[in-house]
Structure 1
Amino acid sequence: MRGSEPSYNRTDFPYSFNEEGYLRHRETYEPYRFPFKLDDVRETERQHQALCHYITRQVYNLLEEKFNLIRFYLEEESFVFLSPGALEHPGSLVVLIQDWGSMRCGVWSWKIVAHEGLELGSQIPYLRWAALESRAVILMNPNEGGQPLERHVQLVWDRLISKSFAEHVFVVAHGYGGLAFVDLLCNWLKEVQDRVKAVAFLDSSHSLWHQPLGKAGRDWLKSHSRSWILSTKPLNRSVGSLKAGCPQLSAGTQCHDSVPALCMESVFRFFTKIMKPKAPPVPFEIITRSKSHVTDRNNNSPTY
């Protein structure tokens, strides 16, 4: 028997998702309001768990029923979701790694899901975009099973990604997920360099100053990754930093949880651009000043 999962059959949770993906009260249809109880820590924690469990159940149902994703168990209490035939797909494979916390597979932020809907807080729009571009997907689940996030990422790499037929692997890493990916790069440098085409860091927690990546790894990140960071600048504006190990761009927000949704289109454009082969330089003849003058006199035409 697989590891135990949270008890989702809660009849006392008064909210549900409507057709547009917004959480609404079952009777009043009002938007979700978290009932903070400063004088009752246990009740506040119970409400938090009820919300997370409900969102998790609904997202899991969508992943399996609407997108036909398959639950793959890595260990007794650790699993991920992947698209059918993901490991045999010869094209591109997109890997999503969420931040550390209470989020489960398919969710970037339960707070954003609760207050702004599934389109902004879940990974469903990424699945939809990947499907339109015929890309396979693996959704990591690092906060399930009680293991360190770094171990989960290494386990998924060892058992799934490294064995896939994908020609190009693309990674989207949010928050601590970015740190876990760089940790993977530190330990599996050659293997990751050979398989991963590009990495999109979304307000990532990684640090090239504190993680022992080495010069080869840092050089690889400079040319194969982009980092969207919190900024008051408009989306995709360059944001310079002496500590940056790769080009940094504005996420167009100062809200950490909102970054994946706001940057999704930019991320996929980056992936598409990096796949296109660079055009070879066009040969041209260097015309010297003296030669141009001779040509001008012979042809009786002006030179600019």
Structure 2
Amino acid sequence: MFIRPHISASVTHARLTLSELGYAFDSTNGTLLNTTTGGRYEFEVYPGNKKRNLKLYNMLADAASRHVTELLTSDEIGMQAIAVPEESLAHTSIFITPGALECANLVVLCTGHGPRPGVWAWNVLVKEGLRAGSLIPYIQALHAQGYGVLVMNPNENIVAADGQPETYANIESLGKTTEIRGNETPDEHVGYVWSRFLRDNHAAKNIAFVCYNTAGISVANLLKYDFDRFVQKCVGIAFIDSVHSSFQMTAQQMVWLAHMAKQWETSVEPADEPIENPNIGCPAVSSGNDLEMREMTPFLCKDSVVDFLDEKFQAGHINEAVMVAEANEIEMAGVELVDSIQDANQQAGDEGHSGWAM
């Protein structure tokens, strides 16, 4: 079950590290281990004391998440932190592989509601480790393919009194905070990064997105509200358990989404088996997740997602003539439907019936 960390004021201020809590990620497989016993983390550390166990879990989740963020800029991963909006103001950071913003093919990774940058889900990170709970395997796989990689940071929207970026999950224990200008919400952060680093970046000719959960809404909004410029840049979107909707999209937007995007969903069906989801406007497939934690889905579908991105980069941008032609067909079908309803209303009125409401 997903548990949102709630850190006490003293713990947040101290920002305890994994080492101080007696834990470390195994250097071989990335599992979180107790440095005293050598065993994996288990919730029931203090038998029968749920409050104390939950407090430890929350502290570990926060410390492990911050450790992942630090790993992004380590020699092992080698990413560069870029301050947003800028270092002289209250700010947080996004992360890029070396030269990513000059790469012709760029992949943007965006997590859902809650976690710090580089983390898919707190509970998976603590219970299953770096391989399943962090973005690091995606970053390494995509970088190995020659793509530039940019990691967004949609959840660090405030800065604590000591200048450190924080998430709203900890706001009750932080005291005075400052909102990060232009990045006050996850949606605004995605829009800010798009407009400042991506939209007008002439070097990054082909951009693809990987969006988990609520991040799908933010990226779908780019498609809705900056359509002309978005389709000139974007060659594909990999949604993972996204909760976006194609409702109120134009015909051209729906055609683009149907051709250029794909969703991986938590399902016990075999991996890559088609799944019906009429709300999202694009093909959907199963992640093959038959585990208890739906937050394992990004890890389970990684290889399939990377294959999809490879295909999209090779195929390039949508054929505009095809998009316009298919959109016209959709619009004509809509006109014909309205005409048929009007005809039915007219006939019903002639026969003394009330007809269909328009």
Bin of the TM-score, shorter chain as denominator length: 0.7 to 0.9
User: Would you say the 8 A contact 2:61–2:123 is kept in 1?
Assistant: no
Q: How far apart are 1:238 and its partner, in Å?
A: 0.9
Match of 2:211 among 155, 170, 173: 173
Are the structure 2 counterparts of residues 185 and 37 from structure 1 closer, same or farther at C-alpha, using a change threshold of 3 Å?
farther
Q: How far apart are 1:259 and its partner, in Å?
A: 1.2
CA deviations on 1:123-176 (whole Å, 9 max, x unpaired) are: 011111112111111101111124211111001101111243112111000000
CA deviations on 1:36-83 (whole Å, 9 max, x unpaired) are: 899989756643442133212321232111122111111323321111
Q: How far apart are 1:114 and its partner, in Å?
A: 1.1
TM-score by length of 2: 0.70
The 2-side partners of 1:5 and 1:191 are apart by: 43
Match of 1:154 among 181, 191, 194: 191
User: Would you say the 8 A contact 1:229–1:249 is kept in 2?
Assistant: yes
The 1-side partners of 2:157 and 2:280 are apart by: 33
The 1-side partners of 2:266 and 2:233 are apart by: 29
Match of 1:72 among 82, 101, 111: 82
- Quote the RMSD (CA, aligned, Å): 2.5
User: Would you say the 8 A contact 1:8–1:57 is kept in 2?
Assistant: no
Q: How far apart are 1:215 and its partner, in Å?
A: 2.0
- Aligned pairs (5 A) from 1:180-199: 180-199=218-237
Match of 2:308 among 270, 283, 300: 270
1:232 matches 2:242: no
1:87 matches 2:104: no
Q: How far apart are 1:11 and its partner, in Å?
A: 6.0
The 1-side partners of 2:13 and 2:205 are apart by: 35
The 2-side partners of 1:201 and 1:37 are apart by: 39
The 1-side partners of 2:52 and 2:218 are apart by: 33
Are the structure 2 counterparts of residues 149 and 134 from structure 1 closer, same or farther at C-alpha, using a change threshold of 3 Å?
same
CA deviations on 1:96-146 (whole Å, 9 max, x unpaired) are: 010102x11111112111111211111011111112111111101111124
Matched residue, 2:347: none
Judge which range, 124-133 or 252-261, deviates more: 252-261
The 1-side partners of 2:47 and 2:277 are apart by: 40
Please state whether the residue corresponding to 1:29 is helix, strand or coil: coil
Q: Which amino acid letter does the alignment assign opposite residue 176 of structure 1? A: T
Judge which range, 36-45 or 185-194, deviates more: 36-45
User: Would you say the 8 A contact 2:105–2:313 is kept in 1?
Assistant: no
The 1-side partners of 2:54 and 2:197 are apart by: 35
TM-score by length of 1: 0.81
Are the structure 2 counterparts of residues 36 and 163 from structure 1 closer, same or farther at C-alpha, using a change threshold of 3 Å?
farther
Please state whether the residue corresponding to 1:160 is helix, strand or coil: helix
Q: Which amino acid letter does the alignment assign opposite residue 152 of structure 1? A: H
The 2-side partners of 1:220 and 1:6 are apart by: 48
CA deviations on 1:248-294 (whole Å, 9 max, x unpaired) are: 1111115431111111111111111223349xxxxxxxxxxxxxxxx
Are the structure 2 counterparts of residues 11 and 55 from structure 1 closer, same or farther at C-alpha, using a change threshold of 3 Å?
closer
Matched residue, 1:100: 113
Judge which range, 58-67 or 222-231, deviates more: 58-67
User: Would you say the 8 A contact 1:6–1:53 is kept in 2?
Assistant: no
Q: How far apart are 1:217 and its partner, in Å?
A: 1.4
The 2-side partners of 1:135 and 1:213 are apart by: 30
Matched residue, 2:68: 59
1:132 matches 2:144: yes
Are the structure 2 counterparts of residues 58 and 11 from structure 1 closer, same or farther at C-alpha, using a change threshold of 3 Å?
closer
The 2-side partners of 1:37 and 1:220 are apart by: 53
Matched residue, 1:302: none
The 2-side partners of 1:5 and 1:182 are apart by: 37
Match of 2:287 among 245, 248, 251: 251
Percent identity over the alignment is 27
For structure 1, the 5+ residue unaligned runs are 279-304
Match of 1:21 among 10, 24, 30: 30
- Aligned pairs (5 A) from 1:112-127: 112-127=124-139
User: Would you say the 8 A contact 2:265–2:284 is kept in 1?
Assistant: yes
Are the structure 2 counterparts of residues 244 and 179 from structure 1 closer, same or farther at C-alpha, using a change threshold of 3 Å?
closer
Q: What is the aligned residue count?
A: 271
